[in-house]
Amino acid sequence: MSREGLNRRSFLTGGAAAIGGAALALGGRAVWDEEPVPMPAPDAVGQATEEFRGIRQAGVSTRPQAFASFVALDLRSDVDHDALVRLMRIWTDDIERLSQGRAPLADTEPELGAVPARLTVTVGYGPAVFRAAGLERLAPAWLRPLPAFTVDRLEDRWNDGDVVLQVCADDETTVAHAVRLLVKDARTFVTVRWLQRGFRSTPGSTPPGTTMRNLMGQVDGTRNPDLGVEPELVWQPDGASDALAGSTSLVVRRIAMNLDTWDELDRDGREKAVGRRLDTGAPLTGRKEHDVPDLDAVDANGLTVIAPFAHVRRARDDEHPEQRFLRRGYNYDEAPAPGELSSSGLIFATYQADVDTQFVPIQRRLDELDLLNEWTTPIGSAVFFVPGGARAGEYLGQRLLES
Amino acid sequence: MSREGLNRRSFLTGGAAAIGGAALALGGRAVWDEEPVPMPAPDAVGQATEEFRGIRQAGVSTRPQAFASFVALDLRSDVDHDALVRLMRIWTDDIERLSQGRAPLADTEPELGAVPARLTVTVGYGPAVFRAAGLERLAPAWLRPLPAFTVDRLEDRWNDGDVVLQVCADDETTVAHAVRLLVKDARTFVTVRWLQRGFRSTPGSTPPGTTMRNLMGQVDGTRNPDLGVEPELVWQPDGASDALAGSTSLVVRRIAMNLDTWDELDRDGREKAVGRRLDTGAPLTGRKEHDVPDLDAVDANGLTVIAPFAHVRRARDDEHPEQRFLRRGYNYDEAPAPGELSSSGLIFATYQADVDTQFVPIQRRLDELDLLNEWTTPIGSAVFFVPGGARAGEYLGQRLLES
């Protein structure tokens, strides 16, 4: 019976499951008025939670929730080390409660706080936090704006920031409420610089484990590392210094898609531009999404099947396997500008242990030659240090701020 | 066994359900490698569909999907009756296919069209459609901008429109893709005037049948009519003229919420302003959400429990039971303006048979005296005629356009 129970439980999407009448399946009396089988609770999506406490922050290796808001904030001029500690204490308490479905103390809409929906809030720091805290000596060398790329058309309204909140949940009302509460509780410390809202598929919309599609129709994010096998691609080791243990970095690039010109390209041209099939996401040299692209394969004419300019070739350098990172992107779709049909794109959010050695070389290669550049334009860019998580009794950022 | 099967099916949220090993529950052999119980398909939310064909359009009495985009379009100057017919033929084919999860003919991202997620697209007409079609004689008298209310602070960027598309689905990628395709296919006929994106709770976030909450934390939309009992509140009769049969009207009001000043109000003050409890949504004179408010009940001091200025009292006129309509609203939450903490509100979308006799009198009363006016401001307003649906072989709007 336990194995059966496990099988059933593994099918349930949420944490809560009403187990009823399991004995029936073993040949017990049929009591028709009882629900004879375990079913997901009707609010399983809303009541599921993610763990907040730990040496690493949640929201990085967490299976991506359906919705995300990225909020960049600027520190007010009088914020110093002590003020940062106060802010982090407030946010730690808020985030812990919200993520567990318990309304924070200052929550004026506690009913909106009762649907955690796997909420995670991930806090990141720009260079200004290290300056304000008097900890410039601890700021990683890569914590600065990315080098300029020729494809960039950056707009200042989507760039940089002193602090970032990545707020993710499987319910958009939950995200809106958490953002409002966290910004409100920080109003004496920070002002809002920019806010980007994104989405993926709804839970239950596609089978679990399906890689998301972006609004160009591509399977997006296939080649994510397995952090169980290669945690060092994202995380500073648990045994690193207090300032670094469990930390990582977040790059947020806002990538506009020119769907009007993309529409002019036929299906074959689109697949050649990426090097993958549109239907399955498989490389043009393979059959399944996760097949490894064969960059040397040639067709009957002796040309490489995956073209020199294809995105998968340019994004990949098998001689430098460290040049990989965790992608955790979200689609955006806003009201079109006057005369336009749409305003769509991708919030390209990536996590990596070191921006300079992992992220920048790939972007340089893509900047030099990547056919996708024809239809995509980076219009925003920001880099943040993501401090380690709060273990029991700690506040977020404590090990760094007390270093 | 059939009854058991029915019970199980009624639990499933989507249309598709994998029925396996039902015999087990009746005492059959335990085949452990088979999934012994019927479970919702893992993509049940994405594969569920709503019927497109019928004398009434879908998206009105349809149980509200989680996401909506309202797109107002303006006709290009050369659009005449014939052009409108062509546009409606194109859209009818597109909408029927999208709503059934079959990619339209001109769909350049067919994979995004394969997740219907209960998609509905509801088409409405402003006065300009009747003019362009030479059918002004058939335009309802109420088809014009609402009278000016003193609480209004309308911004032209959210007002009016010649045509509206209400695009709803349980997956936001589905909505984005449908909007893009429908606008693209209409580009020679129309330009985008405004687009408003809204959300409710994700499927599975709250138990089925739960009334949505707005971003002020209130249960919002309790008093919706039962269209099975009172269809005439929304629909023109099936036996009406061809131009009217199965038609209705859509009012879209964009209501900004001033959450900063709302935050200054305590819980008791908030409940008095609305006349309902924040936790359950019950009227202050009742225990449950759907209890009828007792407007005459007095407290120990002889004062009415539901105050003279309370929203539920002002919105209600029991002497004029025809002054009701169907609310089908969505929350919005946008990036805040510089210096602001948030930009949130409600896309207040209502359906009614007659705008002048059902919608306007209520708004007049609320305009005169409604405490909620302190924290809510209408910033956009539009009124549309929603033609009857397309029966088999018809295109949307056909019975009107050929009248």
Q: What is the pLDDT of residues B124-151, one digit of tens each?
A: 999 999 999 999 999 999 999 999 999 9
User: For residue A344, what is the nearest residue in chain B, using CA coordinates?
Assistant: B176
Residues in B closer than 8 angstroms to A24, CB to CB, are 25
Catalytic one of B220, B354, B367, B370: B220
Nearest of B38, B247, B107, B16 to residue A263 by alpha carbon: B107
Q: Is the dihedral of CA A280, A285, A288, A289 positive or negative?
A: negative
Percent of chain B whose predicted confidence (pLDDT) is above 90:
76
Question: Residue B313: pLDDT band by 50, 70, 90 thresholds?
Answer: confident
User: For residue B216, what is the nearest residue in chain A, using CA coordinates?
Assistant: A109
- Closest Cβ opposite residue B176 in set A37, A183, A215: A215
A359 forms beta bridges with none
CA dist B115 → B120, B162, B170 (Å): 12, 29, 10
Q: Which residues contact B191 (CB under 8 A, 6 or more apart)?
A: A339, B73, B74, B76
Lowest pLDDT segment from A89-93, A338-342, B73-77, B159-163: A338-342
| B195/A336 touch (CB, cutoff 8 Å), yes or no | yes
| A202/B205 touch (CB, cutoff 8 Å), yes or no | no
Taking the CA of residue A117 and the nearest CA in chain B, the distance in Å comes to: 7
- The model's pLDDT over B179-223, given as tens digits with 9 standing for 90+, comes to 999 999 999 999 999 999 999 999 999 998 899 999 999 999 888
Q: Number of helices and strands (H, E) in chain A? A: 11, 11
At B37 the pLDDT is: 59
- Say whether B171 sits in a helix, a strand or coil: coil
Question: Residue A15: pLDDT band by 50, 70, 90 thresholds?
Answer: very low
Q: Which residues contact A386 (CB under 8 A, 6 or more apart)?
A: A57, A60, A122, A123, A124, A125, A247, A248, A249, A250, A351
| A111/B217 touch (CB, cutoff 8 Å), yes or no | yes
- Closest Cβ opposite residue B109 in set A24, A174, A216: A216
| A40/B40 touch (CB, cutoff 8 Å), yes or no | yes
At A209 the pLDDT is: 86
| B204/A173 touch (CB, cutoff 8 Å), yes or no | no
| B183/A38 touch (CB, cutoff 8 Å), yes or no | no
| A204/B37 touch (CB, cutoff 8 Å), yes or no | no
Residues in B closer than 8 angstroms to A171, CB to CB, are 201-202, 205
State how far the Cα of A41 lies from the Cα of A44, in Å rounded to an integer. 5
Q: What is the DSSP letter of B359?
A: I
State how far the Cα of A352 lies from the Cα of A222, in Å rounded to an integer. 16
Taking the CA of residue A161 and the nearest CA in chain B, the distance in Å comes to: 14
- Is pLDDT above 50 for B13? no
Taking the CA of residue A368 and the nearest CA in chain B, the distance in Å comes to: 27
Residues in B closer than 8 angstroms to A206, CB to CB, are 43, 46, 115
At B25 the pLDDT is: 36
| B108/A177 touch (CB, cutoff 8 Å), yes or no | no
User: For residue B213, what is the nearest residue in chain A, using CA coordinates?
Assistant: A112
- Say whether A283 sits in a helix, a strand or coil: strand
Cα radius of gyration (chain A) = 23
| A36/B4 touch (CB, cutoff 8 Å), yes or no | yes
The chain-wide mean pLDDT, for chain B, equals: 89
Catalytic one of A220, A354, A367, A370: A220
What does the DSSP assignment read for B8-55? HHHH-SSS-EE---HHHHTT----TTS--S-EE-TTHHHH------SS
Strand (E) or helix (H) holding B349: strand B343-352
Is A242:A236 a contact under the CB 8 Å cutoff? no
Strand (E) or helix (H) holding B129: helix B127-132
- Closest Cβ opposite residue B217 in set A44, A112, A192: A112
- Closest Cβ opposite residue B205 in set A37, A43, A340: A43
Residues in A closer than 8 angstroms to B171, CB to CB, are 201-202, 205
Name the most confidently modeled range: A31-40, A51-60, A203-212, A365-374: A51-60
A250 forms beta bridges with A351, A384
HSE at residue B371, side-chain half, CA atoms within 13 A, is: 19
- Ramachandran bin of A372, using left for φ above 0, alpha for ψ from -120 to 50, beta for the remaining angles: alpha
User: For residue B27, what is the nearest residue in chain A, using CA coordinates?
Assistant: A27
Amino acid at A214: N
Q: What is the DSSP letter of A204?
A: T
User: For residue B107, what is the nearest residue in chain A, using CA coordinates?
Assistant: A263
| A46/B206 touch (CB, cutoff 8 Å), yes or no | yes
- Say whether A130 sits in a helix, a strand or coil: helix
At A25 the pLDDT is: 36
Taking the CA of residue B155 and the nearest CA in chain A, the distance in Å comes to: 16
Nearest of A362, A291, A292, A377 to residue A327 by alpha carbon: A362
Q: Where are the alpha helices (DSSP H) in B171-323?
A: 172-185, 259-262, 267-274, 311-314
- Closest Cβ opposite residue B173 in set A8, A177, A331: A331
A256 forms beta bridges with A345, A377
Mean pLDDT within A263-284: 92
CA dihedral B380, B385, B391, B396 (to 10 degrees): -70
Backbone angles phi and psi of A233, in degrees to 5 = -65, -25
| A339/B191 touch (CB, cutoff 8 Å), yes or no | yes
Amino acid at B218: Q
- Is pLDDT above 70 for A28? no
- Is pLDDT above 60 for A341? yes
Mean pLDDT within B83-110: 95
- Is pLDDT above 90 for B306? yes
Mean pLDDT within A204-209: 90
Q: Per-domain residue ranges for chain A?
A: 44-138+147-401
| A8/B173 touch (CB, cutoff 8 Å), yes or no | no
- Is pLDDT above 90 for A368? no
Residues in A closer than 8 angstroms to B341, CB to CB, are 180, 183-184, 187, 192
Which among A173, A210, A264, A330 is the top mutation candidate for probing chain B, defined by the most B β-carbons within 10 Å of its own β-carbon?
Answer: A173
- Ramachandran bin of B36, using left for φ above 0, alpha for ψ from -120 to 50, beta for the remaining angles: alpha
Angle at A195 between CA A190 and CA A201, to 5 degrees: 140
CA dihedral A85, A91, A97, A101 (to 10 degrees): -170
Question: Residue A1: pLDDT band by 50, 70, 90 thresholds?
Answer: very low
CA dist B76 → A111, A376, B163 (Å): 46, 29, 11
Strand (E) or helix (H) holding B71: strand B67-75
State how far the Cα of B237 lies from the Cα of B321, in Å rounded to an integer. 19
State how far the Cα of B70 lies from the Cα of B68, in Å rounded to an integer. 6
Burial class of residue B308 in the structure, from the number of CB atoms within 10 Å of its CB (0-12 exposed, 13-18 middle, 19+ buried) = exposed
Buried/exposed A270-283: b ≥16 CB within 10 Å, e otherwise: bbbbbbbbbeebbb
| B40/A204 touch (CB, cutoff 8 Å), yes or no | yes
The structure tokens listed for B113 are 């069209």
State how far the Cα of A71 lies from the Cα of A192, in Å rounded to an integer. 7
A40 forms beta bridges with A17
- Is pLDDT above 90 for B164? yes
Taking the CA of residue B159 and the nearest CA in chain A, the distance in Å comes to: 14
State how far the Cα of A202 lies from the Cα of B46, in Å rounded to an integer. 8
- Is pLDDT above 70 for B262? yes
ipTM: 0.89
CB pairs under 8 A between A and B: 221
At B36 the pLDDT is: 52
Which among B34, B170, B173, B187 is the top mutation candidate for probing chain A, defined by the most A β-carbons within 10 Å of its own β-carbon?
Answer: B173
The structure tokens listed for B89 are 């033929």
At A183 the pLDDT is: 97
At B76 the pLDDT is: 98
Is B182:B94 a contact under the CB 8 Å cutoff? yes
Strand (E) or helix (H) holding B83: helix B81-99
- Is pLDDT above 60 for A41? yes
Taking the CA of residue A318 and the nearest CA in chain B, the distance in Å comes to: 30
What does the DSSP assignment read for A70-100? EEEEEE-TT--HHHHHHHHHHHHHHHHHHHT
- Ramachandran bin of B175, using left for φ above 0, alpha for ψ from -120 to 50, beta for the remaining angles: alpha
Taking the CA of residue A140 and the nearest CA in chain B, the distance in Å comes to: 30
The neighbour count for residue A10, using CB atoms within 10 Å, is 7
Mean pLDDT within A240-268: 95
At B314 the pLDDT is: 82
Amino acid at B213: R
Taking the CA of residue B72 and the nearest CA in chain A, the distance in Å comes to: 11
Whether A33 is catalytic? no
| B331/A176 touch (CB, cutoff 8 Å), yes or no | yes
Mean pLDDT within A126-151: 97
